[in-house]
Amino acid sequence: MNRTLAAAASLLALAACNSGDRAPAPGAPTVTVADALCRPTPKGRQTTGCYMTLTASGEDRLVSVESPRAKYVQIHESRMESNMMMMQQLRDGLPLAAGQATPLAPGGNHLMMLGVEEPLTTGETVTLKLTFATAAPVEVTARVAQPAAGEYDHVAAH
């Protein structure tokens, strides 16, 4: 087991702990994260998109994200403008409705890793730390892979 895998395994254990066994204070919202995925960085580029599904137990807001593999991680929205897909940082973060799955997906809201010095390659994992307005932070281990074929390729339009 290499160091990256070992680190990922311990982070997974932490995340499991946060969302499960140790019950938070009654009424405190928790956020669970599923299907975390980051695209491999395109050759010669230091930016890439990450996707996942967030479900908050109570109304909350994703306010910031960081990763040891990126200088910055921004929360972006995508929208069509004059027939072009534009991206913009959500400076106030991403609102999460209580009990509702909030997708971060290609072509929609997503996380953008900036300043990725060591390329992300398919098959490895990357750690993301998500900070919320109310819920405890969640550490996520995302796998690095291309999203399913046919989905909008967000990086190409970046």
The neighbour count for residue 77, using CB atoms within 10 Å, is 13
Binding of residue 85 to Cu ion (CB under 5 A): no
Closer residue to Cu ion (CB): 13 or 45: 45
C-alpha dist (Å) from residue 143 to 12, 24, 125: 12, 27, 4
User: Measured from the CB of residue 87, what is the shortest distance to Cu ion in angstroms?
Assistant: 4
Exposed / middle / buried, residue 40 (Cβ in 10 Å: 0-12, 13-18, 19+): middle
Q: Choose the stretch contacting Cu ion; rule: CB under 5 A; options: 11-19, 104-112, 115-123, 136-144.
A: 104-112
112 binds Cu ion, rule: CB under 5 A: yes
CB 117 → Cu ion: shortest distance, Å? 18
d(CA 62, CA 56): 10
Contact residue for Cu ion among 7, 63, 87, 136 (CB under 5 A): 87
- Residues that bind Cu ion in the complex, under the rule CB under 5 A: 76, 87, 112
